[in-house]
């Protein structure tokens, strides 16, 4: 009995000692796990700090490179303009920022955005959509008629009578080049003579008004109505009429004050703008006349060719939009009686094609066409539009989607109206600056 009790006591002591050791072992395991987690968190924090430092260093290096490049380009442009046009420093002094538009060498916004791969993806999506339009049109024609139908009757109709458009445009160009220039030159040479100043100014003003009304007002409208030009040809004549009117007015508006302020001495002759500068202005993509513009050193002919190729692709894009999305829908609508339902359906059917045509018109004309002529003429200021797609109001949209026309309306419409009206006496100058 005593031996059994002794053994039981030993067993209980051993078991108690073992059970008392288990919490200590669990505690040491927990401490080890906590230490491991803390070391992992420390390593992760160190890796994050290292990555943050590398990212900041990389961004700073890129910003420094961009800043150095921008400063070097601006200095080269300044030196080039200084060495190229040393005789026209007084012209730049006359056109100060508060007196008119200042032209600066800069690229178009889309050219800068297309350097980013993510933005260029959108451009590739539009190209893919154009290819899809072409393939679907050819497939439908082949299934319906058993052959490929590649007729562009719509193009032939829209751009018909191009011979009439060419000779009418040539006459408008000849008048816009020679008419205002020589009338103002004669007026400038006779303006400073005593006793005849009022008569000379009145005769010159009446002659210019009659000539402008006849050649740039009545003549284009007569050509459009008399020859019954098709839509695209009519559009070309009307747009060129508006362009010549705005450019000739800008030349008259900028030259007249300069002639009035310029009092020739007995030895020095009267300084008048050259015909070559006016001819350059008639073709460069701006509506604000200056004797000197910032110029690029050379012409990138591959860039010019790509822009004209994009214009041609945009025309084909427009053709396939009309053929696939507009003509079939509105042909069916024409057979139905006109009511509210038909009008609403037609409106919503035209919304998507209209949006595509708006974007194509913007890209083909305001970007490709103007950049092509600017490159051929080495015209360096390519700010033809701003980021109108980020506009939050119609006021900002109308100011940013067409900078060329907005500048003309602002300087020759809004500011001249304030100058000639009594509101200039009570309107603070900060209002005028904030409007721009």
Q: How many CB atoms lie within 10 A of CB 97?
A: 8
| Phi, then psi, of 141 in degrees rounded to 5 | -65, -40
Tokens linked to 335: 């057979």
Question: What's residue 210's pLDDT?
Answer: 92
Q: Are 191 and 200 in contact (CB under 8 A)?
A: yes
The torsion defined by the Cα of 403, 407, 413 and 419, in degrees rounded to 10, comes to: 150
Tokens linked to 87: 């005789």
Angle at 330 between CA 326 and CA 333, to 5 degrees: 155
- Cα 418 to Cα 420: distance, rounded to the nearest angstrom: 6
Q: Are 284 and 379 in contact (CB under 8 A)?
A: yes
Tokens linked to 220: 């284009």
Question: What's residue 191's pLDDT?
Answer: 73
Question: What's residue 85's pLDDT?
Answer: 41
pLDDT, tens digit (0-9, with 9 covering 90-100), for 292-324: 999 999 999 999 999 999 999 888 888 888 877
3-state secondary structure 80-108: HHHHHCHHHHHHHHHCCCCCCCCCCCECC
pLDDT-derived band at 80 (thresholds 50, 70, 90) equals very low
Given the structure tokens 């989607």, which residue do they identify? 401
Question: What's residue 65's pLDDT?
Answer: 67
pTM to 2 decimal places: 0.70
Q: Are 403 and 418 in contact (CB under 8 A)?
A: no
* Helix/strand/coil for 378: coil
Half-sphere exposure of 77 (CA within 13 A, CB side): 19
> In terms of pLDDT, which residue wins out, 385 or 36?
385
- Cα 379 to Cα 286: distance, rounded to the nearest angstrom: 10
- Cβ-count burial 131-160 (b if 16+ within 10 Å, e if not): eebeeebeeebeeeeeeeeeeeeeeeebbb
Q: Are 181 and 251 in contact (CB under 8 A)?
A: yes
Q: For the residues 367-376, what does the mean pLDDT come to?
A: 94
pLDDT, tens digit (0-9, with 9 covering 90-100), for 187-235: 888 776 666 777 878 888 898 999 999 999 999 999 999 999 999 999 9
> In terms of pLDDT, which residue wins out, 149 or 4?
149
The DSSP result for 117-164, as a single string, is HHHHHHHHHHHHHHHHHHHHHHHHHHHHHSS-----HHHHHHT--HHH
């Amino acid at each position: 009995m005593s031996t059994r009790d002794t053994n039981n006591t030993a067993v209980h002591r051993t078991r108690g000692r073992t059970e008392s050791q288990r919490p200590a072992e669990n505690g040491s395991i927990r401490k080890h796990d906590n230490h491991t987690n803390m070391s992992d968190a420390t390593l992760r924090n160190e890796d994050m700090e290292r990555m943050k430092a590398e990212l900041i260093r990389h961004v700073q290096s890129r910003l420094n490179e961009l800043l150095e490049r921008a400063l070097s380009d601006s200095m080269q442009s300044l030196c080039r303009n200084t060495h190229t046009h040393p005789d026209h420093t007084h012209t730049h002094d006359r056109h100060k920022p508060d007196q008119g538009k200042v032209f600066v060498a800069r690229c178009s916004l889309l050219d800068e955005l297309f350097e980013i791969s993510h933005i260029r993806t959108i451009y590739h999506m539009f190209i893919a959509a154009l290819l899809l339009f072409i393939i679907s049109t050819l497939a439908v024609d082949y299934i319906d008629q058993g052959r490929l139908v590649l007729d562009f009757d719509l193009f032939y109709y829209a751009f018909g009578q191009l011979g009439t458009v060419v000779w009418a445009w040539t006459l408008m160009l000849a008048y816009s080049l020679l008419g205002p220039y020589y009338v103002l030159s004669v007026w400038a040479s006779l303006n400073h003579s005593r006793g005849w100043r009022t008569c000379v100014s009145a005769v010159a003003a009446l002659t210019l008004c009659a000539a402008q009304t006849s050649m740039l007002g009545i003549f284009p409208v007569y050509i459009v109505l008399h020859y019954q030009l098709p839509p695209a040809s009519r559009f070309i004549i009307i747009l060129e009429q508006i362009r010549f009117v705005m450019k000739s007015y800008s030349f008259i508006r900028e030259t007249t004050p300069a002639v009035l302020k310029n009092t020739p001495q007995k030895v020095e002759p009267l300084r008048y703008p050259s015909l070559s500068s006016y001819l350059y202005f008639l073709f460069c993509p701006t509506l604000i006349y200056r004797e000197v513009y910032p110029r690029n050193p050379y012409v990138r002919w591959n860039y010019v060719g790509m822009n004209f190729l994009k214009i041609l692709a945009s025309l084909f894009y427009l053709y396939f939009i009309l053929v696939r999305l507009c003509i079939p829908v509105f042909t069916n609508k024409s057979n139905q009686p006109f009511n509210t339902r038909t009008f609403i359906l037609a409106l919503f059917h035209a919304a998507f094609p209209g949006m595509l045509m708006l974007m194509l018109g913007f890209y083909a004309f305001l970007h490709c066409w103007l950049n092509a002529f600017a490159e051929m003429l080495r015209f360096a200021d390519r700010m033809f539009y701003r980021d109108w797609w980020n506009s939050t109001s119609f006021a900002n949209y109308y100011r940013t989607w067409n900078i060329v026309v907005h500048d003309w309306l602002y300087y020759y419409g809004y500011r001249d109206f304030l100058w000639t009206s009594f509101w200039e006496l009570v309107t603070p100058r900060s209002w005028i600056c904030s409007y721009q």
